[in-house]
């Protein structure tokens, strides 16, 4: 895979709580040079990123309910509408893990449906945070996200002790089948691992050190 093809699979993330405006500017400028799929940044920086990325092929990915997922459905819906209005082209929502682990499947599906609706046709990704889940819970989460109409299901926020693994991506790709794509995220810090994840069927990668993947 050449550099450009790989770059077009990457959401280049800058989600540290202490990121400065200067760092966001640098992040966006680098993303333009590399032609990453998106920059994933804190929602308060979206208007700045929209100006910086105007006319480029780099989208803006908004984190919703991030990183813990236990905020209310109503707040996630508002956050999504606000982020899209300010210029986000994609949105990644952290699920309420307690709903999934507690078998509140209908409530979780309803939350995801409302998130997808709030995104108004923009690309939606559902974060499962697989570190906390059993294989059966991962499969269940993928199936719920698919029924709710999401575009992607995603491994991790990058804030848990473990991010994407080959085993969990295999499970998710198999469970997703047709019509739902998989984003591998968390701990992807070299090109070999990135290409292994893509070979397994991941369609998008999230990386906070995206420059390392192009070496």
Positions annotated as catalytic residues are: 92, 154, 183
| Length of the chain (residues) | 215
Close Cβ partners of 201 (under 8 Å, ≥ 6 residues apart): 169, 170, 173, 182
Q: 49-67 burial, b for 16+ CB within 10 Å, e for fewer?
A: beebbeeeebbbbbbbbbe
Ramachandran assignment for 129, one of left (phi > 0), alpha (psi -120 to 50 degrees), beta (any other): left
Cα–Cα separations (whole angstroms), residue 134 to 34, 129, 144, 188: 36, 11, 15, 21
């Amino acid at each position: 895979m050449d550099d450009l093809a790989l770059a077009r699979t990457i959401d280049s993330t800058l989600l540290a709580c202490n990121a400065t405006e200067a760092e966001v500017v640098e992040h966006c400028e680098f993303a333009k040079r590399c032609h990453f799929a998106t920059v994933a940044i804190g929602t308060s920086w979206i208007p700045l990123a929209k100006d910086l990325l105007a006319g480029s092929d780099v989208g803006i990915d908004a984190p919703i309910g991030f990183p813990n997922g236990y905020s209310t459905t109503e707040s996630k819906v508002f956050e999504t509408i606000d982020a899209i209005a300010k210029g986000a082209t994609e949105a990644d929502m952290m699920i309420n893990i307690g709903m999934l682990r507690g078998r509140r499947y209908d409530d979780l599906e309803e939350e995801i449906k409302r998130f997808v609706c709030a995104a108004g046709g923009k690309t939606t990704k559902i974060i499962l945070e697989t570190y906390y889940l059993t294989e059966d819970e991962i499969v269940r989460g993928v199936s719920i996200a698919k029924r709710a109409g999401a575009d992607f299901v995603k491994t991790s926020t990058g804030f848990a002790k473990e991010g994407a693994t080959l085993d969990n991506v295999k499970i998710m790709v198999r469970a997703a089948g047709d019509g739902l794509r998989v984003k591998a995220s968390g701990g992807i810090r070299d090109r070999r691992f990135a290409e292994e994840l893509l070979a397994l069927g991941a369609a998008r990668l999230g990386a906070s050190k995206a420059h390392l993947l192009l070496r």
